[in-house]
Amino acid sequence: MSVHIGGKPGDIAERVLLPGDPMRAKWIAETFLEDAVCYTQVRGMLGFTGTWQGVRVSVQGSGMGMPSASIYTHELINEYGVKSVIRIGSCGALAMDLNLGDVIAAIGSATDSNMNRTRFDGLVDYAPVADFGLLRTAVDAAEAQGTPIRVGPILAADAFYTDRPDLYDSLADYGVLAVEMESAAIYTIAARYKAKALTILTVSDHIKRGEAMDSAQREQGFSNMVKIGLNTAIA
């Protein structure tokens, strides 16, 4: 057991999907994995291990935001020997050519979080990036299953509700596709402890157009993303 995860050593696979929502972890385990077993319920942040196409995979809720996602990423890698972490989640689109349900792979993650500024004493703006091998595999997996995937940079924001929509406009001008709340920390911690990380997202809302998915759109969109994540994890 680590501080925040109740699993025993060996309970967690080397390849982990990391949705923010623990109930989505449960849904993924029940819908996609075979022989899924729940290894942790600590703080309600559910984690499951099962198999996908015969390969052991775990799905662990990370919670919302970088402090929470950092805890799970750190403990998965350092306490359970996890080698690759694939965040799957939702995002708010900034790019005007993105639509609800579109799938994004985050090549890099800009952030307004202070975590990396603290890490580097404010002297360096560290660039959190995806593992290139995982990214390439995800793009191939998406093509193989016929799901269009957009690769580009995103913003990992500390706040869901912002008082500075003007900053989102500037980021969009610089090619930032969308906003979520975890990727920069996951990429940084994976790099620090020599693991691989990738973030795959489904556009659940369009920030600039004020649109949001309904529940049927969410489930279909998320299924395509989960399959890309699972096929990337086992490759």
Q: Does 204 bind ligand HPA (CB under 6 A)?
A: yes
CB closer to ligand HPA, 85 vs 100: 100
Stretches 111-119, 129-137, 204-212, 227-235: which one binds ligand HPA (CB under 6 A)?
204-212
CB closer to ligand HPA, 75 vs 180: 180
Give the x-and-dash track for 39-78 against ligand HPA (CB under 6 A).
----------------------------------------
Q: What is the Cα–Cα distance from 235 to 215, expressed in whole angstroms?
A: 30
Q: What is the Cα–Cα distance from 162 to 168, expressed in whole angstroms?
A: 9
- Closest separation between CB of residue 133 and ligand HPA, Å? 26
- Closest separation between CB of residue 202 and ligand HPA, Å? 9
Q: What is the Cα–Cα distance from 235 to 225, expressed in whole angstroms?
A: 15
Number of residues that bind ligand HPA (CB under 6 A): 11
- Closest separation between CB of residue 206 and ligand HPA, Å? 9
CB closer to ligand HPA, 85 vs 178: 178
Stretches 5-13, 28-36, 85-93, 140-148: which one binds ligand HPA (CB under 6 A)?
85-93
CB closer to ligand HPA, 51 vs 217: 217
Q: Is 173 a catalytic residue?
A: no
Q: Cα 175–126–159 angle (5° rounding)?
A: 65
Give the x-and-dash track for 151-180 against ligand HPA (CB under 6 A).
------x--x------------------xx
Q: Does 112 bind ligand HPA (CB under 6 A)?
A: no
SS (H, E, C) the chain: CCCCCCCCCCCCCCEEEEECCHHHHHHHHHHHCEEEEEEECHHHCCEEEEEECCEEEEEECCCCCHHHHHHHHHHHHHHHCCCEEEEEEEEEECCCCCCCCCEEEEEEEEECCCHHHHHCCCCCCCCCECCHHHHHHHHHHHHHHCCCEEEEEEEECCCCCCCCHHHHHHHHHCCCCEEECCHHHHHHHHHHCCCEEEEEEEEEEECCCCEECCHHHHHHHHHHHHHHHHHHHHC
- Closest separation between CB of residue 65 and ligand HPA, Å? 9
Comparing every residue's Cβ against ligand HPA, the nearest one is 92
Tell me which residues are annotated as active site: 205
Q: Write out the residues near ligand HPA by the rule CB under 6 A.
A: 90-92, 157, 160, 179-181, 204-205, 207
